[in-house]
Structure 1
Amino acid sequence: MPEWYTLGVVALVIVAVVVVIVRFRVNPVIALALGAAAIGLLTGLGPVDTVSTMTQGFGDVMMEAGILIGWGVLIGAMLNELGAITRLVESLMRVFGRRGIPYALGLSLATYLQTIFVDVLIVIAAPLARRIAPRLGRVGTGIVGVTFAVGLEMGIVMMVPGFAAVALAGLLGVPLGVMMLGGFAVVAPTVVLTIVLMSLFFRLGFWNPERDEQVVVRDDDEAVASVSTGGAAQAVATGHDPLVSTETGSVRTRVGGVPRGPAGSRPVDREEREQPLLLLFAPMLVALLLIAAQAVLSVAGIEVPTMQFLGSPVIALLLAVIATGVIGRAAVGTKRIEKAVVKGFQDGGQIFLLTGIGGSLAAVIAKGDLGAVLQGYFSATSFAPLLLVWAMAAVLHIAVGSVTLSAITAAGIIAPVAATMGLDPLLIALAAGSGALFCIHVTSNTFWLLQTFLDQSVRGTLKTVTVGVSLASVIALGMTLLISLVLL
């Protein structure tokens, strides 16, 4: 096939996928599957090879990432049922105080809290965040908004156990321990620098409380955020905020189906026994430490059979699931933990399919000659393909509004180049994750959740989410390029 034809087919199909998702509201999983099939047929793979390649690509990615995503979903569902997040935020506030809480909370959201779904994290932690904001001064709401936005979004795509980060690692064949270490090397400084810079900008006048915050009427002591009819309609229109009541225009904060009481507290069930906070998070933290330790040993060329087994992500996270379940049963009873597990599987269904279909698309593209075609357009430096994958993910995200979808699609398209040029797949994953964070705006469900629950106006949310996370995206790209100098 001529070069122009191959590039043209892939470009047109990706544009078509974006259009059917945005304009016709087709589910991203179906749209990506159709796109993968179209690329295969139009580039000469033929019907049989197209289907087999899609199937193999789906299976290969799920073999790498499927079980890990499942374990993460289960851990997150159980921690949510145990009320661990609320207690954690309260503890961070006590320990780190007014000056340190944005950084402690931002790093927590971006790292070990990534087993919890983003929407759930926002709903659970928002009442406490609203209590923190006044302590940070006149621009406190803006600082809290940036902290949430940057921490949550960075963790999703760049930090294990974030499900998009796990999916990228599986798609590109990056060992999960390596992805975790590399992601942390980018995420930690990026989160801190972004909060520092945005806080400075806000204090210099970029944040105007009168215009960037909204007046909220709450039902006595209960965590209830009233939103304007327009804001509620916009949130409902995105299809992502089931807690919005179109009749009352209010949003009620719930955890595990139980209304939250004063100051984010939770009614205690008769069979519930409060466990030490460190104990609740211990299984997950130990699992992450085991994975990181094995990654370090692997890089150092040291083989320890026991660590190779326990530090395997599948085993480490499985042990964390079992231990969290045991602790949970002792704390809230077997029925509630079983219910949380069922809910976790329900919530994780689309993540499994999206991850697998991303692998199908990447496999179909890799089967053709796109890698050889793109290689001809790159110089010998590794910066060009990294900048390209960042820009590709950024454009896809602006169009589609999905951080996960844009990162996976961009990584799948550029993956053949990594193989032909000897570029470390970790760098591709980090660049794709960085680009997918650029310009989060009104098509994102996270945008509307943060606007509603953190008492921001749309104008204010554009500053904290769109500008703040875009700044993080650029900083993360810079960190990725620095890492590339070390690895290459």
Structure 2
Amino acid sequence: MSETAILINTGVAVLATVLMIVRFKVNPVIALVLGSLYLGLSTGLGVTKTIEIITSGFGEIMVEVGLLIAFGVLMGSILNETGAIRRLVEHLLLAFGPKRLPYTMALAMGTVLQSIFLDVLLVISAPLARRMAPKIGPLGTARMATAMAIGLECGIIFMVPGVGALALAGLLGVPLGKMLVFGFLVVVPTIIIAIMIMTFLFKRGFWKSDRDEQNLFDEEDYPQASQGASHGPDAYGVSAVAQGPGQTDPLPEGEPRTVAVLVAAKREAPLLLLFTPLLLSLVLIASGALVEIFGIDSAPLKLVGDPVVALLIGLIGTTVIGRYTVGQKSVENAISSGFKESGQILLLTGVGGSLAATVAAAGLGDILGGFFSASAVAPLLVVWAIAAVLHIAVGSVTLSAITAAGLLAPIAPALGIDPVLIALAAGAGSLFMIHVTSNTFWLLQSLLGQTVRGALKSVTFGVSVASVIALLVVLLLSVFI
């Protein structure tokens, strides 16, 4: 088959997949499989070969990241149950003060908290962020909403063990330790610079409180407790944050109770203890990468540094601490919830691998490889643009990143591009233009008391700024690797 026919059929497969998801509301898993079937058959692979490639592509990526995603989500679900996230935000406020809270909260969400399923992390932290917003100043709502949006979305796609980062690493064959190191190098400056830029714009009149905030939560929603009063969990299941000696300021009441958020812990374990297993997992993964880089021949170090073993150790540790703090029953409920959350993620990741395998088998990589010079810049810009366009159409950060990376992955060997750069560029592009097709957009809009106009500024524009900054950081890294 001619190169032109392959390019046309690949374009039709991708466009048809997007239309099925957006226009006809077909489940993304089904749409991706149908797109893979069309591409295989239309490019002359044949029925048997096409099905074989789809199933093997699914299986190969599950071998790479299936257990990693499951372990990460389960660990996050248990941390959710122990109240670790609420307490971390409280400690950040006490340690850094209200003015620096947007930066510290976003960095925490974008790094160490990425084992938490995104929607759960958002629902847990949004009420706390909303209450902290007035303490920051007149632009508190704008700054906190932007910080949360940037931290959440950047973390899930760049930082191990975020599900997007795990999926991209598995799809492109990037060692997880390497993804952890380079993802960290991208996510930290991206979050800090993006929040700085948005804060500058807000202070120059980009944010209009009268039109961008809904003012849904009045002062009477924040009753001050009398000295020494004690309060149980609020409508979100989260205990009040201490505001001073003997004084508490409970979160707004009158909101629907969310089952996924915290229950009060039976025992107040030290916060560092709650996060120790997760931090240990990340340290072990990073050490495993160093062992590989320096060629250290040590079986024990290789074993504990293997990502599957490292996350398993973290999960076991988190389970033990969870049993001590909230009890066996709560841990079992958290694990059940985690299995439900991980199922869809695993399926989506797997069929993303099927599409990538079909694209590679069709020969698209060899064709596109001839369109670029030996420079890594052009392919990285292309993968960013493809992911950005897919995200605008589909509204899924993970889906757009996986699809874009899968399309460009075959080019990497021909041009000598490190696959981690393609993964990071695809992740950066998938952050562009988060808007009304995204569940995160509506959650941030409602939970932080913004109008749709306000959310378009803080979420859509804010995360798009982060997308461009992340691309620039990736291009800078491409000079050195």
The verdict on a shared fold, with TM-score over 0.5 as the criterion, is yes
The reply on whether 1:472 has 2:476 as its aligned counterpart is no
Give the CA deviation at 1:299.
2.1
Among 423, 438, 446, the alignment partner of 2:417 is 423
Alignment match, 1:97:
97
Alignment of 1:13-162 (within 5 A): 13-162=13-162
Q: Are 1:413 and 2:413 an aligned pair?
A: no
Quick one: percent identity of the two aligned structures?
55
For residues 191-230 of structure 1, what are the alpha-carbon distances to aligned partners after superposition, in whole Å with 9 as ceiling and x for unaligned? 0001111111101111111111112147956558xxxxxx
Match of 2:448 in 1: 454
User: What secondary structure, in the 3-state scheme, does the structure 1 residue paired with 2:215 have?
Assistant: coil
> What SS does the corresponding residue of 1:112 show, helix, strand or coil?
coil
Aligned counterpart in structure 1 of residue 348 of structure 2, from 350, 354, 359:
354
Hey, what's the Cα distance between the residues in 2 that align with 1:135 and 1:45?
Answer: 62
User: 1:397 is matched with which residue?
Assistant: 391
Distance 1:286 1:185 in 2: 19
Give the structure 1 partner of residue 244 of structure 2. none
How far the C-alpha of 1:304 sits from its partner, in A, is: 3.1
Partner of 2:230: none
Q: For 2:307, which of 309, 313, 317 is the aligned residue?
A: 313
Q: TM-score, normalised by structure 1?
A: 0.90
Q: Distance in 2 between matches of 1:399 and 1:96?
A: 39
Can you list the C-alpha shifts for 1:224-275, whole angstroms capped at 9, x where unaligned? 8xxxxxxxxxxxxxxxxxxxxxxxxx742535467xxxxxxx545xxx2121
Partner in structure 1 of residue 287 of structure 2 = 293
Structure 2 distance, partners of 1:392, 1:166, is 20
CA contact (8 A) 1:150 1:468 kept: yes
- CA displacement at 1:443 relative to structure 2: 0.5
Q: Distance in 2 between matches of 1:267 and 1:320?
A: 23
Aligned position for 1:181: 181
Show the counterpart of 1:247.
none
For 2:106, what is the secondary structure of its paired residue? helix
Query: What's 1:336 paired with?
Result: 330
For the aligned residues, what is the CA RMSD? 1.4
2:258 paired residue number? 254
Aligned residues of 1:65 and 1:166 also touching (Cα < 8 A): yes
Q: Which whole-Å CA distance do the structure 2 matches of 1:322 and 1:419 have between them?
A: 38
Within 1, Cα distance between the matches of 2:217 and 2:296? 59
Q: Secondary structure at the match of 1:486?
A: coil
What amino acid sits opposite 1:436 in the alignment? Answer: S
Q: Tell me, which stretches of 5 or more residues in structure 2 are unaligned?
A: 223-233, 237-253
Whether the 8 Å contact between 1:127 and 1:223 is mirrored in structure 2 is no
Aligned residues of 1:133 and 1:144 also touching (Cα < 8 A): yes
Shift, 1:134, TM fit: 1.2
**Aligned AA for 2:277?**
P
Aligned-residue offset at 1:376 = 1.4
8 A contact 1:215–1:455 mirrored in 2: yes
How much has 1:84 moved relative to structure 2?
Answer: 1.1
Mapped to 1, the partners of 2:169 and 2:61 lie a distance apart of 9
Partners of 1:109 and 1:253 in 2: CA distance: 23
Determine the structure 2 residue equivalent to 1:284. 278
Matched, 1:322 2:316: yes
CA offsets, 1:298-339, max 9 Å, x none? 223333322211111101100111111111111111111111
CA–CA distance in structure 2, aligned partners of residues 171 and 217 of structure 1: 44
Contact 1:83 1:255 (8 Å CA) reproduced: no
1:304 matched residue in structure 2: 298
CA contact (8 A) 2:87 2:271 kept: yes
Cα deviation code 1:123-182 (max 9, x no counterpart): 111121012211221111110011000000001111111001100000000000000101
1:438 aligned counterpart, secondary structure:
coil
C-alpha displacement of 1:112: 1.3
Work out whether residues 123 and 253 of structure 1, in 8 Å CA contact, stay in contact via their aligned partners in 2.
no
Counterpart of 1:438 in structure 2 is 432
Residue aligned with 1:113, SS = coil
Structure 1 residues 327-336 or 44-53, which shifts more? 327-336
Residue type at the aligned position of 1:295: A
- 124-133 or 189-198, which moves further after superposition? 124-133
Distance of 1:196 and 1:143 partners within structure 2: 10
Q: 1-side partners of 2:293 and 2:147: how far apart? A: 33
Corresponding residue SS for 2:97: helix
Aligned to 1:212: 212
The whole-number CA distance in structure 1 between the counterparts of 2:135 and 2:302 is 46
- Work out the CA distance in 1 between the residues paired with 2:103 and 2:259: 25
Letter paired with 1:333:
G
Question: Measured at CA, do residues 206 and 279 of structure 1 come closer, stay the same or move farther in structure 2, by a change above 3 Å?
Answer: same
Amino acid in the other structure paired with 2:414: T
Give 2:374's aligned residue.
380
Mapped to 1, the partners of 2:431 and 2:294 lie a distance apart of 32
- Indicate conservation of the 8 Å contact 2:81/2:261, yes or no: no
**Structure 1 SS opposite 2:437:** coil
**Secondary structure at 2:409 match in 1:** helix
